[in-house]
Structure 1
Amino acid sequence: MGSKTQVPAKRHDPNYIQISGDVRKELGLQFKAACTLKQLSIGEGLEEAIEMWLNALPAPSSNKKGDK
């Protein structure tokens, strides 16, 4: 029989961290369904969503209050 290639769990990879938070039930169900339709894991979907959100933020200003 063929041998399976073992992929190390991201949980033990020092290049990853675990984050969590509570979202409205409807939003969470929509997100899970979208990940399933795109054949993504929840973690992959979260990475994609977070990257899109961060890229949409305005560039940080160097003139923040309190900076001297």
Structure 2
Amino acid sequence: MKIKFVFAAAAVAMLSLASCKKDYVCTWEADGVSLSQDYPGLDKDAAEATETTCKNAGGTWSTK
């Protein structure tokens, strides 16, 4: 029983440490020209920070 608990705890720890990384893009318009910046492989924290910056600059944030 103790062995099962150790394996279960290890599995939960591994899953919690694994981060889901996604690709994002920020698009905006400047002087009538549509521009975009790709952000590949961001984890959740980096994506949230970059999204805030994108939106503060008047851009639109989306996943690829």
Q: Tell me whether the two structures share a fold, i.e. TM-score over 0.5.
A: no
TM-score (norm 1): 0.28
TM-score (norm 2): 0.30
Higher relative contact order (CA closer than 8 Å, sequence separation 6+): 2
